[in-house]
């Protein structure tokens, strides 16, 4: 090999080149023969001070054509995608042992580079690896780096940008109408995430957020990606997805379905703990034709199956929220299978907030387990997408964007500038869970049409509409629009815009086109939607509904007849927006197919360890399926489905089932993991308590409702979040065991009907204000067994209640009088004890 050697690969206008000169490696990117980045160093430093690329010895190189096809179910262009890339791999022997292959890719919309490392098991890679040399005065639209990517994006130039760390994607204007978007692709737990470290003078280094330990014979770094072209090319690019591995098995699961969701957390912080409030969200979602309800912090597994069943009857799925470290171990992750067995559609996992290799290994494990059990995922407090839409099609969306929750947490406005940068940066590489359309945000700087247009301009596979549904109902124009706006798109086109100033995006779903426009300018802006660019049927008539702001920041709309040759002109108010809904004249959406039906003969059954239980149901409109909890043997068909839809299964309660355990089984009318959501109903199988005393704190109820937050165990009620109470205290006396509730509250358990007694004490917790009172009752099979009046500051009242013959036990705290503060009540040390005679007889 000569003193200087260059290897390159080209596709159309785009070239990526690798140069070896006197033992050092540099790379260059060219577009149309013009250098995008002049020769810039490549490094692979290890913790012991080596640079694996310094003094490396050339071994070989080869080229190949990369021709692949894959399907996406989430994103700006769903359906079939074709990969047409050129690749060159140059291999080197490292001076201290091991090998490094530099892999170059050229594509129609950019270039990429990665390292494939061999024979370096156990080595620790640290610091930066790929440098870029960018025009020192170039315009740039960065965000300050955090591993959860939620800082505000802003407009700058490189010469005015402070040296520091900035997150991907990193957008730079190279010349007039030529842009580079720098990011990563194909990242998993074998490596770690990186950011852009800016040193000034146009010098950017792709730098690891944390050290990476190589494991195994061969490890590939993520692709270092540069998307190249005009803004329309950048916005339309799928290069990050193209570079990612295919889905395992090559088949996208039928149950991975994007959709719109009603979400109550933004407008009602503690509402996730209230079944009644989630049923209200379900009513609204079903009426709008939305696909999901997302239940945030505080939900209770006691009532969640009821919500799932009610949602399934109306063709709506349910997502549930969970903190990432509640899924940190294999044992904790077993609950995912249990939730899936109830019929839950997906999980929103929150607060990962790390780019460490260890956290990416966690992502690998959670993604794999959710795929195994059939759960979709929405990652919140997360990293940005790295091509996972292709590799993991059940991952619907990621936050990794500063979105509407910042109105709630910090009362901070989202700048219109930020909103007009996100479509050119963060949203290019994958779904962004911004949670849009927050009309009631007191601090907002945007107009109502701007808020509405966010739902079109920003794409998310799980489109969580954030505001209170009453705010939408107050605005019939918005309500009708969001009923039509979709969560995944057949086509996306940038019509006009510049980051930080304004954007006009058009998206197609089936026969309908949606155009969204946002402005961040301080004066009115006129923009045009040129219908001739959308590929419409030239001989057809269309109806265009145009929604804009009036002079009082209220929505206004008009509908006009247009053709494919027309242009729709829009005047955007300062910080304003607009939405254009375009449909063929006379077009109506096809109706949703009717939901099948399922009813169960008995919603609660008794069954002890090793005992068979028969589940009987009537299923019409679809094939019946019984889904049992993890750890249960597969059910056997006891009676095949009859002409009237009746069917029965026999299942055996596992031998290791604990006394008083409640298992939830789901009867589905339709395939639980089919292409459309099945209707389902639940049966709870309750194991008898047995002869030993049983603490109600340890037993699972069959129903629970609480005035604020979930029912707490071994702590006071606290506020509306789970596990936010304090040690229980009544009249200054602390109690370690019990249930903390808030009026009105009602918790129900299934008992054996034997001779038994309830012993407990009850009082108002000291966290309640002075003067707070409550009426507490013990109810058996609908009959009030005892009633106690309690008040703040009074000692707890002792209870000893005969439960003979009772099969349904309820502990009730009645609602406070109108205007009174609801009491936080402690049920202290509640125990069920069988009578001595029953114990002697061995009564269970």
Q: Which residues are designated catalytic?
A: 350, 405
Distance CA 17, CA 30 (A): 8
> Are 308 and 342 within 8 A, CB to CB?
yes
**C-alpha dihedral over 688, 689, 690, 692, to 10 degrees?**
180
What are residue 3's DSSP bridge partners?
none
Give how far Cα 476 sits from Cα of 285, 480, 619, 637, 726, Å.
Answer: 15, 6, 38, 50, 45
User: What is the DSSP code string of 291-345?
Assistant: -EEEE-TT--TTTHHHHHHHHHTTT-EEEEEEEGGGGSSHHHHHHHHHHHHHT--
Q: 10 Å Cβ neighbour count for 154?
A: 17
**Which strand (E) or helix (H) includes residue 110?**
strand 110-118
Q: 10 Å Cβ neighbour count for 468?
A: 19
Distance CA 547, CA 478 (A): 9
What are residue 331's DSSP bridge partners?
none
Q: 10 Å Cβ neighbour count for 42?
A: 25
- Three-class DSSP labels, 138-194: CEEECCECCCCCCCCCCCEECCCCCCEEECCCEEEEEECCEEEEEEEECCCCCCCCE
Identify whether 111 is preceded by a cis peptide bond (ω within 30 of 0). no
Is 373 strand, coil or helix? helix
Angle of the 448-457 helix axis to the 476-484 helix axis, nearest 10: 0
For 83, residues 6+ apart whose C-beta sits below 8 A from its C-beta are: 66, 67, 68, 69, 70, 242
Angle of the 304-312 helix axis to the 330-342 helix axis, nearest 10: 40
> Are 744 and 814 within 8 A, CB to CB?
yes
- Beta strand 462-465 with 259-263 is parallel
> Are 158 and 135 within 8 A, CB to CB?
yes
């Amino acid at each position: 090999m000569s003193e200087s050697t260059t290897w390159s690969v080209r596709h159309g206008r785009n070239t990526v080149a690798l140069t070896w000169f006197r033992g050092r490696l540099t790379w260059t990117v060219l577009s149309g023969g013009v250098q995008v980045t002049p020769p810039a160093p490549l490094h692979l430093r290890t913790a012991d001070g080596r640079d694996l690329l310094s003094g490396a010895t050339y071994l070989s190189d080869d080229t190949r054509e990369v021709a692949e096809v894959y399907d996406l179910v989430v994103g700006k262009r769903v359906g079939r995608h074709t990969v047409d890339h050129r690749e060159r791999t140059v291999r080197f022997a490292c001076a201290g042992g091991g090998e490094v292959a530099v892999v170059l890719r050229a594509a129609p919309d950019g270039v990429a580079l990665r390292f494939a490392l061999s024979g370096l098991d156990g080595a620790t890679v640290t610091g930066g690896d790929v440098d870029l040399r960018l025009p020192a005065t170039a315009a740039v639209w960065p965000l300050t780096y955090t591993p959860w990517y939620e800082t505000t994006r802003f407009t700058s130039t490189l010469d005015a940008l402070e040296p520091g760390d900035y997150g991907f994607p990193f957008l730079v204007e190279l010349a007039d109408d030529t842009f580079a978007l720098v990011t990563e692709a194909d990242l998993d737990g074998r490596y770690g995430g990186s950011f852009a470290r800016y040193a000034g003078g146009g010098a950017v280094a792709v730098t690891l957020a944390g050290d990476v330990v190589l494991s195994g014979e061969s490890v590939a770094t993520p692709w270092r990606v540069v998307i190249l072209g005009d803004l329309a090319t950048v916005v339309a690019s799928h290069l990050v997805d193209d570079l990612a591995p295919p889905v395992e098995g090559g088949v996208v699961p039928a149950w991975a379905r994007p959709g719109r969701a009603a979400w109550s957390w933004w407008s009602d912080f503690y509402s996730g703990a209230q079944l009644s409030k989630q049923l209200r969200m379900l009513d609204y979602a079903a009426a709008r034709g939305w696909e999901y309800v997302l239940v945030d912090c505080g939900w209770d597994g006691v009532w969640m199956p009821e919500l799932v069943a009610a949602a399934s009857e109306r063709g709506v799925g349910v997502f549930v929220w969970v903190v990432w470290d509640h899924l940190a171990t294999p044992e904790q992750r077993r609950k995912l299978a249990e939730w899936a067995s109830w019929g839950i559609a997906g999980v929103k996992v929150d607060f990962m907030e790390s780019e460490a290799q260890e956290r990416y290994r966690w992502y690998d494990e959670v993604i794999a387990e959710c795929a195994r059990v059939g759960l979709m995922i929405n990652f919140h407090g997360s990293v940005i997408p790295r091509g996972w839409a292709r590799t993991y099609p059940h991952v619907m969306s990621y936050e990794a964007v500063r979105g509407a929750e910042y109105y709630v947490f910090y009362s901070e406005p989202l700048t219109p500038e930020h909103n007009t940068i996100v479509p050119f940066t963060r949203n290019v590489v994958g779904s962004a869970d911004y949670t849009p359309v927050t009309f009631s945000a007191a601090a907002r700087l945007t107009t109502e049409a701007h808020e509405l247009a966010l739902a079109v301009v920003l794409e998310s596979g799980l489109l969580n509409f954030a505001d209170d549904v009453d705010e939408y109902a107050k605005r019939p124009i918005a309500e009708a629009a969001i009923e039509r706006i979709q969560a995944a798109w057949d086509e996306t086109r940038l019509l006009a815009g510049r980051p930080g100033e304004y954007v006009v995006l058009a998206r197609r779903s089936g026969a309908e086109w949606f155009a969204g426009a946002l402005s961040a300018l301080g004066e009115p802006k006129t923009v045009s939607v040129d219908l001739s660019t959308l590929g419409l049927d030239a001989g057809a008539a269309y109806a265009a509904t145009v929604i804009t702001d009036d002079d009082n920041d209220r929505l206004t709309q008009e509908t006009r007849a247009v053709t494919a040759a027309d242009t729709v002109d829009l005047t955007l108010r300062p910080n304003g927006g607009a939405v254009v809904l375009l449909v063929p004249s006379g077009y109506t959406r096809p109706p949703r197919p009717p939901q099948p039906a399922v009813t169960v003969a008995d919603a609660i059954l008794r069954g002890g360890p090793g005992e068979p239980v028969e589940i009987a149901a009537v299923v019409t409109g679809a094939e019946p399926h019984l889904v049992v909890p993890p750890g249960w043997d597969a059910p056997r068909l006891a009676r095949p489905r009859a002409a009237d839809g009746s069917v029965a299964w026999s299942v055996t309660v596992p031998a290791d089932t604990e006394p008083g355990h409640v298992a939830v089984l789901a009867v589905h009318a339709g395939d639980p993991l089919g292409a459309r959501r099945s209707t389902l109903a639940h049966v709870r199988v309750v194991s008898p308590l047995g002869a030993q005393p049983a603490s109600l704190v340890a037993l699972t109820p069959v129903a629970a409702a609480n005035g604020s937050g979930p029912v707490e165990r071994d702590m006071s009620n606290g506020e509306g979040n789970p596990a936010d109470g304090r040690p229980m205290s009544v009249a200054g006396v602390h109690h370690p065991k019990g249930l903390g509730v808030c009026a009105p509250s009602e918790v129900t358990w299934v008992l054996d009907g034997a001779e038994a007694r309830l012993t407990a004490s009850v009082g108002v917790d000291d966290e309640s204000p002075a003067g707070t009172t409550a009426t507490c009752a013990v109810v058996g099979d609908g009959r009030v067994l005892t009633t106690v009046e309690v008040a703040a500051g009074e000692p707890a009242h002792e209870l000893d209640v005969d439960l003979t013959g009772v099969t349904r036990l309820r502990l009730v705290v009645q609602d406070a009088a109108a205007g009174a503060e609801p009491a936080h009540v402690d049920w202290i040390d509640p125990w069920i004890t069988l009578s001595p005679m029953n114990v002697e007889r061995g009564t269970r």
